Amino acid sequence: MILTTLPTLLAALAVPPPGAQADSSPGLGESIAAFLGEAAKVAWGLPFILMLGSVGLFYTLKLKLPQLRNFGHAVGISAGRYDEKDDPGEVTHFQALCAALSATVGVGNIAGVATAIALGGPGAAVWMMLFGALGMMTKFASCTLAIRYRVYDEDGHILGGPMESIQRGLGPRFKWLATAFAICALIASFGGGNMVQANQMANAFTHEFKDSLPGSLSEPVVFLGITTNWLRLMLGAAVAAIVASVIIGGMKRIGQVAGVLVPVMAVFYVGGAMTVILLHLDRVPETLGEMFTLAFAGGEEHTVVGGVVGYSVVQALTWGARRAVFSNEAGLGSAPIAHAAAKTKEPIREGLVAMMEPFIDTVVICMMTALVILMTDAHVLFADKAKEGAIVTREAFRMGLEAAPWLGAITVSIGLILFAISTAISWSYYGDRCASFLFGAWAVKPYRLVYVIVLFFGANLKAGFVWDFSDVANAAMAFWHIVALLALVPVVLALYRDYFSREQVPTKGPGARLHRDEGGTE
């Protein structure tokens, strides 16, 4: 049954060949895609967004703005000043941060921002930034709990994250909640971290080379029921092969690769965005003014009942928050799985390291992308490509670098490749930990195999479908995770107060030796 239905289903979800006529009666695939589209709209509506935001706001107020107060300490921990060689764990604080960052800094930073702005208006960029700031605390809490409740699996690898936090923090009665989270996270690992990455990369490449490709590469090909083309098939296979070669080495290899890849790709992409912004510096004040006005007051033509309840504000908020969470994953419960592997005895330390993630991802990188798009009006000119956001961003960079448009296109294309590969690598770890939790350590290898196969197919499916699948799956895992974050508030608060009641002595850098000479130890 499945074998006979699968090709039909895939065919319906595949990218239609140029000039293909749409079937008048929707089949199973179209119905699933339509259902997912509506479900994504509802799941990521205002209630869900406010739920995620208010958890971050609660921790922000309760801990008195640690985003600012503890930022310097978080930088010190990330830089390795508090690393202890003998601490339990598999990777350093920095490697854990990079592994989690490589998952979060992905296509969302390029394509997601464009989608948010094209569908939610310029104000969406401001809400992205604000949700990034609130997300810092959601991530802090979830990663603190991940270290507190992590365990070793049968193979001796660390198993941590919301599933362990729920099961061990709330007690065995809530094992079903932990299982529900793990199932949703396992499914979600095939969405945002996998299919979306391959798909957006393939879309950008197809768009980039549509005129210069040899005819044979862009001609429609039917592969296992999917109508696609050779370029997409080759890209899918290449990404799958690269990702497979890294994830086979487990968390240690992922941490090592991410530790190199993340700083390189962040500097490369941010450098490109900074160049565009500097070239159009005169437009920055106007763009910022437009963003903030539309974020809080709405456009004059859309404002209905006193600004804040206006439609454009709700649209800006929901789309901004939706893509912010997609990008920084705060509240979803994915990143704590990577952070759980960090070498540390102090849960709060890893929480503070994790807090940096939404800042780097959303407050810095997403905002740069947003400025480039808004300064060039690409979100209006390419509004119909909103679901394939990478194209909007690519055109924005091309228009922004007027003297050398090819350079803009290359910046986005290379950024997209690096972001997509690194994200796919890290998300596989999230899925394999969930597989290990659900079925035992034996399930990890079969999971990885399925993961790379889905990655290959992701490059050949419709952009709308993969985004909607990802949105629904992400929302599903977040619901269970948020229950745990609310129920375990006292644990996070107790750990935080205990940590800062003790003197924190660095092991490296200024101050370290002085304390040791005085006999001070941690």
Partner 1 sequence: MSTACRLNLAFPVVGALVLLWLRPPEGSVLDDGFLLWFGVGAVLQLAAALVLTRRNHGSWVLGWVLLWLASASYMGAYAPVHLQEDALSGNWATWMAPEPKLPKELEKEAGEQHELPARVAEWRQHRDEAAAWLRTTFAADVLDDAFRTRAKADIGRAGLLLYVLSAIFLSAFFSIGWFAGRHSLHEYGVSGGSEEDPLAVNTMGRDPA
152 near partner 1, rule: CB under 8 A? yes
Instruction: Calculate the dihedral angle through the C-alpha atoms of 310, 312, 313, 315, rounding to the nearest 10 degrees.
Output: 120
> Rule CB under 8 A: is residue 436 a binding residue for partner 1?
no
Which range touches partner 1 (CB under 8 A), out of 126-134, 248-256, 376-384, 427-435? 376-384
Phi, psi values for residue 435, rounded to 5°:
-60, -40
Q: Which of 45, 80, 220, 225 binds partner 1 (CB under 8 A)?
A: 45
List the interface residues with partner 1, window 340-369 (CB under 8 A). Answer: 345-347
Rounded Cα distance, 333 and 481, in Å: 6
Cα R_g (the chain), whole angstroms = 22
Query: Binding residue for partner 1 (CB under 8 A) from 498, 511, 516, 520?
Result: 498
Element (H, E) at 68: helix 66-69
120 half-sphere exposure, CB direction, 13 A CA radius: 32
Distance CA 361, CA 142 (A): 17
Residues 47-66 that bind partner 1 (CB under 8 A): 47, 50-51, 54
Binding of partner 1 by 381 (CB under 8 A)? yes
Interface pick for partner 1 out of 18, 26, 27, 88 (rule CB under 8 A): 88
Size of the site for partner 1 (CB under 8 A): 67
Closest approach, Cβ 68 to partner 1, in A, equals 25
| Least Cβ distance, residue 346 to partner 1 (angstroms) | 6
* Angstrom distance (rounded) from CA 146 to CA 100: 13
Residue 158 binds partner 1 (CB under 8 A): yes
Among 19, 72, 171, 285, binds partner 1 (CB under 8 A): 171
Instruction: By CB under 8 A, tell whether 494 contacts partner 1.
Output: yes
**Rounded distance between C-alpha atoms, residue 193 and residue 196, angstroms:** 7
Q: Using CB under 8 A, pick the residue from 154, 155, 219, 402 that binds partner 1.
A: 402
> Whose Cβ is closer to partner 1: residue 69's or residue 210's?
210
Looking at residues 19 to 38 of the shown chain, list those that interact with partner 1 (rule: CB under 8 A): 38
Give kind and range of the element (H or E) at residue 221: strand 220-223
Distance of CA 358 to the CA centre of its chain: 9
Task: Give the 3-state secondary structure of residue 14.
Answer: strand
DSSP string, 248-276: TTHHHHHHHHHHHHHHHHHHHHHHHHHHH
Does 390 participate in binding partner 1 (rule CB under 8 A)? no
Q: Which member of 20, 75, 151, 514 binds partner 1 (CB under 8 A)?
A: 151
Q: How far apart are CA 416 and CA 276, in angstroms?
A: 17
Spatial separation of the C-alpha atoms in residues 211 and 219, rounded to whole Å: 12
With binding defined as CB under 8 A, does residue 377 bind partner 1? yes
Q: Decide: is 156 part of the binding site for partner 1 (CB under 8 A).
A: no
Binding span for partner 1 by CB under 8 A among 68-76, 124-132, 224-232, 391-399: 391-399
Residue 394 lies near partner 1 (rule: CB under 8 A): no
Measured between alpha carbons, how far is 80 from 83 in angstroms, rounded to an integer? 5
* Nearest CB to partner 1, comparing residues 233 and 491: 491
CB of residue 345 vs partner 1: minimum separation in angstroms?
4
| C-beta neighbour count of 462 within 10 angstroms | 20
Backbone angles phi, psi at 154, to 5 degrees: -60, -25
Determine the Cα–Cα distance for residues 154 and 92; give it in Å rounded to an integer: 22
Please count the residues of the chain: 522
Please give the single-letter amino acid code of residue 521: T
Segment interacting with partner 1 (CB under 8 A) among 28-36, 41-49, 331-339, 453-461: 41-49
Cβ-based nearer residue to partner 1, 144 or 423 = 144
CA distances to 14, 36, 132 from 2, in Å: 17, 20, 41
Q: Which is nearer to partner 1, 182 or 363 (CB)?
A: 182
283 scored as a contact of partner 1 (CB under 8 A): no
Taking CB under 8 A as the rule, which mask of x and - marks residues 114-133 in contact with partner 1? -------x------------
Other C-beta atoms lying within 10 Å of the C-beta of residue 505: 16
**Residues forming the site for partner 1 (CB under 8 A):** 38, 41-42, 45-47, 50-51, 54, 88-89, 121, 147-152, 158, 168-174, 299, 301-302, 304-305, 309-315, 345-347, 376-377, 380-384, 395, 398-399, 402, 405, 482-491, 494-495, 498, 502
